[in-house]
Amino acid sequence: MGRRRGLMSEQFKMELAKELGFYDTVKSEGWGGITTRDAGNMVKRAVQLAEEALAAKRL
């Protein structure tokens, strides 16, 4: 089974990494260098932003 293509753009992931404070790690070590907790926080924040965008769209 092949790897799934990511749903988030690379630019969006970088913006989230900057916001959450682990951009330097990504820059120096790549995405494999972040912790599981950081990855989870990134996904959590992406979901939060998507929910906020949907809520704003409904108004």
Residue 1 belongs to a domain = no
Percent of the chain with pLDDT over 70: 93
Q: Are 13 and 43 in contact (CB under 8 A)?
A: no
Radius of gyration of the chain (CA): 13
Residue 44 belongs to a domain = yes
- Name the domain count of the chain: 1
Domain span including residue 39: 8-55
Question: The whole model's pTM is what?
Answer: 0.83
Residue 2 belongs to a domain = no
Residue 3 belongs to a domain = no
Sign of CA dihedral 28, 32, 36, 39: positive
Residue 40 belongs to a domain = yes
Q: Which residue has the higher pLDDT, 3 or 31?
A: 31
Instruction: Give Cα 44 to chain centroid, integer Å.
Output: 8
Q: Is the pLDDT of residue 21 over 60?
A: yes
As a whole number of Å, the end-to-end CA separation of the chain is 41
Q: Is the pLDDT of residue 33 over 80?
A: yes
Q: Is the pLDDT of residue 3 over 80?
A: no
